[in-house]
Amino acid sequence: MMEYLKEALEVYSQYENYIPSFDEAREILIKEFLDKSDLVKLLNIEDERLIRIMAKKAKKLTEANFGKVIMLFAPLYISNFCQNGCTYCGFSNLKNCPRERLEREQMEIEMKSLKDEGIDSVIILTGEDRVNSDFEYIKSACSVAVDYFSEVSIEVYPLLENEYEELAKIGVVGITIYQETYQKDDYEKLHLFGPKKDYEFRLLTPERALKTGFHEACVGPLLGLSHPEKDAFCAILHAEYLMNKFPKAEISLSFPRFRDANTGFKPSYLVSDKEYIKFLLAARIYLPRVGIVISTRERAALRDALMDICITKMSAGSKTTVGGYATSKDEKLGQFEIDDSRSVSEIVNVIIQKGLRPEFTNWVKGVGKL
């Protein structure tokens, strides 16, 4: 992956400031297969007429490859202990905030609460702390979750291959891992201390998981931390690399934008709605079969507008605090602010009104191994 990324960045640097003409962009948009230079050019488009053409193409490709379906899931934060000094995060070790972790009984209360909302697919999240949420703790949380939900994924610290293997055996199917920024220099400046400083180990995480029997991996940057177009480009190529290497796995992209987490951190870049939308459309057009996830960080109107164009998976009714579904009410202690605070049933209604079908699970338990 490191070599692939290096070569891709060479292509990026050749076209970094190249804004294609209207006609050239249209030529790219009628191609069946795009190359890396086409992708950079699409990411540089500014003309809104072209973005509308991109949206039409993206909608067709999404329907052709995924049908009219939106998968719904929810994050479940079980611990906010973290050893890392990420400058931008509400759970950072730099921050003096109350730390807590859920024990089994509390987890079950949270899970029941989510299940009552109709959620059947969860992502178990922790901060990154091998002492306060060690592997056995994560494994036991997953083994409780697989009893409640059809689909259990994790967004925890990068694990070792044998650890992913153990989780796959108990029924965990997916991993989400954000590289935060693919630009190594900025990565080093943003991550002051802790195991997360190891850029390469993090970058290779989805491969370790997919090798061992995980079915899904979702990757992406945290937009705003570094040059957004460049990070979107690298993330799309990261997904492409994983799709080529693990053709039976489902690879998704997510492009969260930085949201305030009461840390005082000011991102270097602000990513407008127009840029954000363009990144999603470019991802869909370059990789017609990649899953595209949109979280509740984004506002309701934007999520609704994008759901029948390029989105395949949405979080719904999310809380980003430990114990947020049943007990903790102080949302200021969350990992970041959310914007779309509608309930699961409200989101389901919008999906149906748009002529789409809400789905609550992607995998049927116990059927086939990849």
Sign of the alpha-carbon torsion through 235, 240, 242, 247: positive
Site string for ligand SF4, 36-75 (x = CB under 6 A): ----------------------------------------
Interaction between residue 91 and ligand SF4 (CB under 6 A): yes
Kindly state the smallest distance separating residue 80's Cβ from ligand SF4, in Å. Answer: 7
126 phi, psi to nearest 5 deg: -135, 165
Positions 114 through 143 that interact with ligand SF4 (CB under 6 A):
127-128
The H or E element spanning position 176 is: strand 174-180
Site string for ligand SF4, 150-189 (x = CB under 6 A): ----------------------------------------
**Residue among 1 and 192 whose Cβ is closer to ligand SF4:** 192
The H or E element spanning position 320 is: none
Distances (CA, A) of 90 to 54, 101, 126, 165, 283: 35, 15, 12, 30, 29
Q: Could you tell me the end-to-end alpha-carbon distance of the chain, in angstroms, rounded to an integer?
A: 22
* Among residues 86, 235, 253, 292, the one that binds ligand SF4 under rule CB under 6 A: 86
* Among residues 79, 84, 296, 315, the one that binds ligand SF4 under rule CB under 6 A: 84
Positions 337 through 366 that interact with ligand SF4 (CB under 6 A):
none
- The interface region with ligand SF4, picked from 5-13, 85-93, 238-246, 279-287 by CB under 6 A, is 85-93
CB 122 within 8 A of CB 74: yes
* Among residues 36, 41, 101, 196, the one that binds ligand SF4 under rule CB under 6 A: 196
Q: Which amino acid is at 276?
A: Y
Q: Which residue has the tokens 């079950």?
A: 108
Interaction between residue 82 and ligand SF4 (CB under 6 A): yes
CB 90 within 8 A of CB 332: no
**Residue among 293 and 344 whose Cβ is closer to ligand SF4:** 293
**Residue among 50 and 222 whose Cβ is closer to ligand SF4:** 222
Residue 272, Cβ density class (10 Å: 0-12 exposed, 13-18 middle, ≥19 buried): exposed
Six-digit token string for 209: 């998981």
Number of residues that bind ligand SF4 (CB under 6 A): 9
Kindly state the smallest distance separating residue 304's Cβ from ligand SF4, in Å. Answer: 28
Six-digit token string for 256: 């969260």
Six-digit token string for 67: 């049908």
Which residues contribute to the site for ligand SF4 (CB under 6 A)?
82, 84, 86, 89, 91-92, 127-128, 196
